[in-house]
Chains A and B, each alone.
Chain A
């Protein structure tokens, strides 16, 4: 009977250990999606991620059917802007924060078409924008981000492998940086 009581205490302690592990894991992770993207290239520069070779490790778990472009922007230097023209095939866009969560995502099926023209504003900049204190281009898709450190991922699905070089060229042609 006594032993059962000790075992029950062990199970309860185990559940506490479990909760601590789950809640503290993000703080202890060293190989995060942010560190991997930061290693891919400098800030304000579009980096097309290399294609996934069969059998090769795929730490970011990229889909081999897609081509990826990433760009890191720091909103502390001004609102972020990402613009380019992409082929008329499926593409999508996601804004990640430093913690690796997706702050905003959309696809070209949401009425954007082929022109990517995105402005990323933090809370203060959104406020200035509302007061018309920041000049922006017409047709800019405005997204508010709660964090200053963000990176943008553009995924493009070339319909056939032969069109992949064109897709990569289109991704490499994306311009990303800050509105001064």
Chain B
């Protein structure tokens, strides 16, 4: 009887560890294989001809059309700079500088990957259409409520993710893995 209890316990632990670790490591790649810059995470090997096993599993799981190594790299954030999950009832300020790239886009998506911008507004912010400060730094707002400067209006309730895609990051010697700084994500007021 005692043996049976131990056996069941072992199998339960094995299943939880095995599948839990797999799920966690492939959700946004924070555990292994990923490049992390503040709240942003990317898979640096995603555009290579022979990606590592984790990147390959992630690609198989998403079935997405990823960017090639010399095309660019997408960074995903699901939490703000303090580690709190991004919530659509809050207003987020995104400030700082982006690495040198031909251009970049910033998109807000729901957990299922669908775009959550206001249907008749712009679907994303992009480098060619934003106003900058004199020193070239950015000040972007992502919120449901009216915001000054560059505003990405979103809709709906619940958690969301931000995707910052850098196209043709020219300052990088062959690979986007050399990215050092990305804009900070700061939570401002939240609706009750």
Contact = CB atoms under 8 A, between A and B. Distances in A.
Given A54-B115, A64-B123, A153-B65, A100 B59 contact: yes
Interface string A14-37: 111110111101101101110111
Nearest to A60: B65
A107 B62 contact: no
A56 interface: yes
A141 to B, nearest CB: 13
Nearest to A28: B60
B54 to A, nearest CB: 6
Q: How large is the interface on B (under 10, 10 to 19, 20 to 34, 35 or more residues)?
A: 35 or more
Contact of A13 (B10, B126, B155, B170): B10
B112 interface: yes
A94 to B, nearest CB: 4
Contact of A10 (B11, B57, B59, B115): B11
A8 to B, nearest CB: 9
Contacts of B123: 52, 54, 64-65
A180 interface: no
A63 B168 contact: no
A58 B48 contact: no
A101 B17 contact: no
Interface string B37-62: 00000000001111101101101111
A57 interface: yes
Interface of A is mostly: mixed
A178 to B, nearest CB: 22
B61 A55 contact: no
B124 A65 contact: yes
Contact of B168 (A25, A96, A107): A107
Nearest to B10: A10
A61 B113 contact: yes
Interface in A99-152: 99-107, 109-110, 146
B12 A10 contact: yes
Contact of A94 (B22, B71, B105): B71
Given A7-B9, A10-B14, A105-B47, A63 B165 contact: yes
Given A6-B9, A14-B15, A105-B47, A21 B70 contact: no
B136 interface: no
B114 A56 contact: yes
Contact of A54 (B10, B26, B117): B117
**Which 5 A-B pairs have CB atoms at the shortest separation, nearest pair first?**
A105-B68, A17-B18, A14-B17, A10-B13, A13-B14
Interface of B: 6-7, 9-19, 21-22, 25-26, 47-51, 53-54, 56-57, 59-72, 102-103, 105, 107, 109, 112-119, 123-124, 126, 128, 155, 165, 167-168, 170
